[in-house]
A and B are shown apart, each in its own frame.
Chain A
Amino acid sequence: MAVKKRKKDLTFLEKIYIPEIVKGLSLTLKSMLKPKFTLKYPEEKFIPPASYRGRPVLVQEENGQERCVACGLCSRVCPSLAIEVLASETEAEKERYPVKFEINMIRCIFCGLCEEVCPEEAIVMSKDYEMAFTNREEAIYGKDKLLVPVSQLQDRIEFLRQYK
């Protein structure tokens, strides 16, 4: 087998490596002086921007009621069939409300289609990314875990109004 010869040999400076080490070290030292990106999670929490898609939540109006009318569109559009909605009749003006609204967080893929399809702005993606379960039942979020007061969701709702 013929030995292939290097087209260009390393120069003397390259051979001794010292300038390259200095170059590398200078980059490291520069980075040391820059502000830090890393967070000491979980002591420090990451606060995502409004465009972030955390777990989907239901908007709770100021009167304590959910905004959802249980139309079932989120459930229909959900590509992973994570959402189950059971409707019932209410005396309120909106006629219809979800008697059961469950999101299976094991199935959810955080795509945000439910939020996009919702005609009532009733389901939005929150900034919550901390979900850990030890069994399947725990991962099914009912209305008790899904309802979030509208005041806490303001910046996402404004983001949607601007870009949706």
Chain B
Amino acid sequence: MPKFILDGKEIEFNQGETIIQAAKRYGTDIPHFCWHPSLSVSGNCRICLVEVEKMPKLVIACSTLAADGMVVHTTSPKTLAARNAVMEFLLINHPLDCPICDEAGECKLQDYAYLHGVGESRFNEEKVHKDKRVPLSPYIMFDAERCISCSLCIRFCDEIAKDPELTFVDRGDRVTIVTYPGEEMDNPYSLNTTDICPVGALTNRDFRFRARVWDMSSTKSVCVGRARGCNTEVWVRNNEVLRLTPRYNEDVNSYWMCDHGRINTFKFINAKDRVNGPYIRKEGTLGRVSWQEAVNRAASELRSFNKNEIAFIGSAYATCEDNYLFSRFASSVIGSVNIDFMRREDPSFADDILRRSDITPNSLGAELVGVIPGKHGLNIEGIFNGINEGKIKALYIIEDDIVEVRPELENLLTKLDLLIVHATNMNKTAALADVVFPAATYAEKNGTFINFRGRVQRIRPAVETEDLERTIDGMSVSRLDKFGTMYDSWAKKNRHDARSTWKIISLISLAISGELKYNLIEDVFDDIAKSVKEFKELDYDMIGEFGAKLNIDIKETAV
């Protein structure tokens, strides 16, 4: 392998790699604004200038190919002087109002100004004024004054979203970014530009000014929007999810996620209609009761039916652990073979970038852990027919609002003698139920999802419930969480009385027959690993941050 010397250290590189790429692999971060690992090289910001011996001038590390025997200095006086000069140029027209800017705290320009700036401006003239607060789309706000013209957003739309929408207009210090005439920035990945924008020029209107980044905690999680399972970070302040950002995972989503996942998959967590505590139907209306009472009611009612009269509907929104215990509950505690779940497809959503037509995060996982009809068991349509014919008298549904998808089921479900529902939010299915258990959302529990390629990935709790304590349960902690007391309004914590589905099933099962006693999610997963061959020899440590491939062959079907 060819080698070159970086700051006195000999490093190996692959032929065709640029200096910045090779340095990055070895943990040396050469400052950059306009360079991004998965976008084309533009080379316009000039901050990555490095000194290469025997070259007449400094060269930009992002577009200079590494060559055998090259000697590169990234911290030599000449390099630092050039970096300072570039910073000085950039700051001539960049407004110095970090206190107002929403990027503060995660702004590259701010970081580099702190690291490489001289701290003083020699420029006394009036700064150039441009348009502020230009809405580029319903999701994105553009501030032309803050833009440093790195062109990352333009290249992102061209190369990743494959929908050219943005362009530079004008020249010199008047250069600015606009959408093409008559167009809006409406590609389904547009919000990724707010992540890659090195300054506060492009901001997410949904999150803008909601919180400072240093006041939030972030938790590694997985998007539940679609079957891709994009890796995400969940950002929480005062126990409320404020935004989701994509997390780099080359095998799943690279650096990106779609706008649907980012905007639409967390607001229900703190919505007003969350089911808070268990409910049972008394004299026709649902009323809140204690956990003990609800569990006893569910257990005694389930016992009063013949096992063939009971059907179970799992969920592609629930985790593998939830579905696994659900199927064990159906098969070994009740003895019913009538178990299935509802599949969701939306072909209009799919594209060949990230978005999939399967609009649930865990349909493959539900199938694998046993939420499929047993021998001579009824599938989902069979269950509905059975209810219609009066053969199925009791139905147990977890974490799925089937009435919302198929409104005609509303009349059908009223024919049941018993309907037990686990729901995160009070929905149309839960409204018909006799017993409603409050289910924890994906941001309030541990568990695993299997994406469409058979990759098992973990979700972790980011929001506290009555069942979870931030520090005791090892959740990520922000400064405010760490020092807040019950008397501080910024640590008041709106906590819901909800539990993971597997915990609720375990409680009911214990009340019926004393089986399925689990205290830890790891024990549930260990049992999955023992009994499901695709999960063989896996555990939470092996899944880690980036997931692990299941022992399974998936045919890459067309989207």
Residues in A whose Cβ lies below 8 Å from that of B98: 71
Q: How far is the CA of A70 from the CA of B102 in the complex (A)?
A: 11
Residues in A whose Cβ lies below 8 Å from that of B132: 95
- Nearest A-chain residue to B212, judged by Cβ: A72
- Nearest B-chain residue to A139, judged by Cβ: B487
A96 and B490 contact, CB distance less than 8 A: no
A84 and B100 contact, CB distance less than 8 A: no
A73 and B489 contact, CB distance less than 8 A: no
A104 and B488 contact, CB distance less than 8 A: yes
Interface residues of B in 198-226 (CB under 8 A from A): 208-212, 214-215
What sequence of 0s and 1s flags, for each residue 71-109 of chain A, a beta carbon within 8 Å of any chain B beta carbon?
111011000010010011100001110000010100000
Residues in A whose Cβ lies below 8 Å from that of B484: 81
Asked if B416 is an interface residue, CB under 8 A from chain A, the answer is no
- Given A120-B99, A136-B487, A140-B489, residue A72 in contact with residue B215 (CB < 8 A): yes
How far in angstroms is the closest Cβ of chain B from A137? 9
B208 and A89 contact, CB distance less than 8 A: yes
A119 and B488 contact, CB distance less than 8 A: no
Asked if A69 is an interface residue, CB under 8 A from chain B, the answer is yes
B209 and A81 contact, CB distance less than 8 A: no
How far in angstroms is the closest Cβ of chain B from A63? 18
Asked if B104 is an interface residue, CB under 8 A from chain A, the answer is yes
How far in angstroms is the closest Cβ of chain B from A134? 15
A71 touches which of B100, B208, B489 (Cβ 8 Å): B100
Q: How far is the CA of A102 from the CA of B480 in the complex (A)?
A: 15
Asked if B536 is an interface residue, CB under 8 A from chain A, the answer is no
- Nearest B-chain residue to A95, judged by Cβ: B100
Residues in A whose Cβ lies below 8 Å from that of B211: 87
Residues in B whose Cβ lies below 8 Å from that of A88: 209
How far in angstroms is the closest Cβ of chain A from B45? 25
- Given A87-B209, A89-B209, A95-B133, residue A119 in contact with residue B489 (CB < 8 A): no
- Given A81-B483, A84-B489, A95-B133, residue A76 in contact with residue B99 (CB < 8 A): no
**Chain B contact residues: helix, strand, loop or mixed:** loop
In this complex, the member of B208, B209, B215, B480 whose beta carbon has the largest number of chain A beta carbons within 10 angstroms is B209
- Given A81-B483, A81-B488, residue A76 in contact with residue B214 (CB < 8 A): yes
Q: How far is the CA of A84 from the CA of B209 in the complex (A)?
A: 14
Q: How far is the CA of A95 from the CA of B103 in the complex (A)?
A: 14
Q: How far is the CA of A104 from the CA of B489 in the complex (A)?
A: 10
What sequence of 0s and 1s flags, for each residue 33-68 of chain A, a beta carbon within 8 Å of any chain B beta carbon?
000000000000000000000000000000000000
Q: How far is the CA of A84 from the CA of B490 in the complex (A)?
A: 7
Residues in A whose Cβ lies below 8 Å from that of B480: 81
B99 touches which of A71, A81, A89, A136 (Cβ 8 Å): A71
Q: How far is the CA of A76 from the CA of B488 in the complex (A)?
A: 15
Task: Kindly state the interface size class of chain B when it binds its partner.
Answer: 20 to 34
In this complex, the member of B99, B483, B484 whose beta carbon has the largest number of chain A beta carbons within 10 angstroms is B99
Interface residues of B in 204-254 (CB under 8 A from A): 208-212, 214-215
How far in angstroms is the closest Cβ of chain B from A68? 10
- Nearest A-chain residue to B213, judged by Cβ: A72
A76 and B100 contact, CB distance less than 8 A: no
How far in angstroms is the closest Cβ of chain B from A52? 26
How far in angstroms is the closest Cβ of chain B from A103? 11
B489 and A96 contact, CB distance less than 8 A: no
Q: How far is the CA of A117 from the CA of B212 in the complex (A)?
A: 16
How far in angstroms is the closest Cβ of chain A from B488? 7
Q: How far is the CA of A164 from the CA of B211 in the complex (A)?
A: 29
Residues in A whose Cβ lies below 8 Å from that of B209: 70, 87-89, 96
In this complex, the member of B98, B214, B488 whose beta carbon has the largest number of chain A beta carbons within 10 angstroms is B488
- Nearest A-chain residue to B133, judged by Cβ: A95
A96 and B488 contact, CB distance less than 8 A: no
Q: How far is the CA of A72 from the CA of B210 in the complex (A)?
A: 11
Q: How far is the CA of A72 from the CA of B480 in the complex (A)?
A: 13
A73 touches which of B99, B133, B483 (Cβ 8 Å): B99
Q: How far is the CA of A81 from the CA of B484 in the complex (A)?
A: 8
Residues in A whose Cβ lies below 8 Å from that of B487: 136
Q: How far is the CA of A95 from the CA of B215 in the complex (A)?
A: 20
Interface residues of B in 473-510 (CB under 8 A from A): 480, 483-484, 487-490
Interface residues of B in 526-553 (CB under 8 A from A): none
Interface residues of B in 105-139 (CB under 8 A from A): 132-133
Q: Can you identify 29 A-B contacts, CB atoms within 8 angstroms? A: A69-B100, A70-B209, A71-B98, A71-B99, A71-B100, A71-B104, A72-B212, A72-B214, A72-B215, A75-B212, A75-B215, A76-B215, A81-B480, A81-B484, A84-B488, A87-B210, A87-B211, A87-B212, A88-B209, A89-B208, A89-B209, A94-B100, A95-B100, A95-B133, A96-B100, A96-B209, A119-B99, A120-B99, A140-B489
Top-10 shortest CB links A-B = A71-B99, A72-B212, A84-B490, A87-B209, A119-B99, A96-B100, A69-B100, A89-B209, A95-B100, A81-B483
13 more CB-based (< 8 A) A-B contacts, given A69-B99, A95-B133:
A72-B214, A72-B215, A76-B214, A81-B488, A84-B488, A84-B489, A87-B210, A87-B212, A89-B208, A95-B132, A96-B100, A96-B209, A120-B99
